[in-house]
């Protein structure tokens, strides 16, 4: 593993990001790295990218042991070894680290003076589940110096606020709505059904049977998602990527070419992770932005109704749907309805679910005004949505 610090500073940058992309390369993490990419496209930013996962893990274990023995975070911080820390030389308007899980939080000490050099500090953590709290609570205490904490798990905000003593708010996932939009190229939708990631074995088998029986393109993952016999750090080894941007480009192109896209509540096949509390997964934002017809089992929550409140945003079907063929045939018999769904999905994504909308929420939480480039991107998104609305002959259904 490369142990060199990956950090350069630009003279005009006002935002400092902390990104785990160099050392956390799972497919599922690429969505958050897309968020970082959009922020970088909007404005000049500095990005600190830790380059050694082993160093961070070693320091984290020493910190955990020292805190356990001394009962003191201050003493543990003094004892823990930090290899090649970065001392910031300039001030920033906003420090915005983005983490995939709380177990990555020990990257923070590698930027030793981030609080003194940041006017505002906001942290975003993708996944924090109730079952993780006993093993990561000592790490969550590292968040006590932030002005605001955001989570993409809505049911954990109160718990994290209690542990950290800081305001904690739900921030749903987003998408690069310009990248995922099928317009203006409007590619042919040659994939009949696309299913990525977690799935029902029953629905999957039914779709495989259909694909064998007639002209029907069913696109799905074929690699092994998890092997319980493997060590914890290696469970997802087959789901790693070399380039997050390339992966998101391919994903967008696949979904833009899919007539139907299966989207289910987060961890639908492993409900023990959420303790029965349903959450919105990434797939809903990706499928809607690409103008596919989403079919699946969405979360039955107020949050889902808030963010996907337009008609037919998702065609609800059981997670286990052995009759998926009949469901698709019935929908295929309603082309006008499908055309409306595609149009509405794309327009709502452009107006509400681009990553710039999430960045605006972050800015508002700490009383920062949107930058000129943020406003320009919002205007571009709105202009495209208006063009789709006003041009009656746009055919989003191929």
pLDDT for 142-187, tens place per residue? 999 999 999 999 999 999 999 999 999 999 999 999 999 999 888 9
Whole-angstrom Cα distance, residue 356 to residue 340? 25
Phi, psi of 193 (to 5 degrees): -135, 135
What number is the average pLDDT over the span 379-393? Answer: 86
Q: Which pair of tokens denotes residue 312? A: 């037919």
Q: Which pair of tokens denotes residue 45? A: 């930013």
Whole-angstrom Cα distance, residue 84 to residue 98? 21
Residue 205: how many CB atoms within 10 A of its CB?
Answer: 12
Percent of the chain beyond pLDDT 90?
A: 67
Question: Model confidence at 268, in pLDDT bands (50, 70, 90)?
Answer: low
pLDDT higher for 114 or 265? Answer: 114
Whole-angstrom Cα distance, residue 264 to residue 274? 14
Whole-angstrom Cα distance, residue 328 to residue 193? 9
Whether 228 has a pLDDT exceeding 80, the answer reads no
Whole-angstrom Cα distance, residue 364 to residue 250? 33
Q: Residue 75: enclosing H or E segment and its boundaries?
A: helix 73-79
Q: What is the CATH number of domain 177-355+362-390?
A: 3.40.50
Phi, psi of 373 (to 5 degrees): -70, -30
Percent of the chain beyond pLDDT 70?
A: 91
C-alpha distances (whole Å) from 151 to each of 128, 212, 384 are 8, 42, 29
Domain segments of the chain: what residues? 15-170, 177-355+362-390
Rg (CA), the chain: 22
Phi, psi of 206 (to 5 degrees): -60, -40
Question: Model confidence at 275, in pLDDT bands (50, 70, 90)?
Answer: low
Residue 353: closest CA among 100, 176, 170: 176
Question: Model confidence at 21, in pLDDT bands (50, 70, 90)?
Answer: very high
For residue 226, the model assigns a pLDDT of 55
Q: Which CATH number fits domain 15-170: 3.30.1490, 2.40.480, 3.40.50, 3.30.450?
A: 3.40.50
Task: Report how far Cα 26 is from the mean position of its chain's Cα atoms.
Answer: 12
Largest CA-CA distance found in the chain, in angstroms, rounded = 70
Q: Check: CB of residue 307 under 8 Å from CB of residue 272.
A: no
CATH topology match: 15-170 vs 177-355+362-390: yes
- Angle at which helices 244-256 and 282-289 cross, to 10°: 60
Whole-angstrom Cα distance, residue 76 to residue 88? 22
Instruction: Find all residues with CB under 8 Å of 6, minimum gap 6, and list them.
Output: 22, 48, 49, 50, 51
Q: What is the DSSP string of 210-240?
A: HHHHSS--EEE--S----TTS-GGGTTGGGB
What number is the average pLDDT over the span 80-97? Answer: 89
């Amino acid at each position: 593993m490369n142990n060199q610090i990956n950090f350069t500073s630009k003279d005009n940058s006002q935002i400092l990001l902390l990104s785990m992309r160099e050392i956390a390369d799972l497919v599922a993490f690429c969505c958050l790295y897309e968020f970082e990419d959009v922020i970088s496209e909007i404005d000049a930013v500095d990005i600190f990218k830790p380059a050694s996962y082993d160093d961070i893990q070693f320091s984290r274990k020493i910190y955990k042991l020292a805190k356990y023995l001394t009962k003191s975070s201050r003493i543990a911080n003094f004892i823990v070894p930090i290899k090649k820390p970065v001392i910031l030389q300039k001030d920033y308007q906003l420090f915005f680290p983005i983490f995939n899980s709380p177990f990555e939080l020990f990257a923070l000490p590698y930027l030793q003076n981030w609080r003194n050099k940041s006017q505002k500090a906001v942290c975003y953590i993708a996944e924090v589940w109730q079952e993780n709290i006993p093993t990561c609570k000592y790490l969550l205490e590292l968040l006590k110096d932030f002005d605001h904490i955001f989570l993409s798990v809505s049911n954990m905000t109160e718990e994290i606020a209690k542990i950290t003593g800081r305001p904690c708010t739900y921030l749903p996932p987003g998408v690069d709505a310009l990248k995922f939009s099928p317009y203006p190229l409007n590619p042919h939708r040659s994939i009949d059904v696309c299913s990525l990631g977690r799935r029902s074995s029953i629905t999957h088998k039914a779709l495989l049977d259909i694909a064998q029986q007639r002209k029907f393109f069913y696109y799905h993952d074929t690699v092994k998602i998890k092997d319980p016999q493997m060590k914890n750090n290696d469970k997802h080894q087959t789901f790693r990527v070399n380039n997050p941007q390339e992966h998101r480009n391919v994903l967008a192109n696949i979904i833009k070419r899919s007539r139907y896209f299966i989207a289910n509540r987060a961890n639908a096949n492993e409900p023990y992770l959420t303790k029965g509390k349903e959450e919105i997964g990434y797939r809903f934002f990706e499928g809607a932005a690409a103008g596919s017809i989403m079919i699946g089992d969405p979360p039955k929550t107020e949050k889902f109704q808030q963010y996907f409140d337009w008609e037919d945003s998702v065609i609800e079907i059981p997670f286990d749907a052995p009759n998926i063929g009949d469901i698709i045939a019935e929908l295929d018999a309603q082309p006008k309805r499908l055309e409306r769904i595609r149009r509405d999905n794309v327009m709502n994504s452009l107006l509400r679910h681009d990553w710039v909308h999430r960045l605006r929420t972050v800015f508002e939480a700490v009383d920062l005004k949107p930058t000129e480039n943020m406003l320009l991107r919002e205007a571009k998104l709105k202009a495209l949505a208006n063009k789709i609305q006003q041009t009656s002959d746009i055919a989003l259904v191929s």
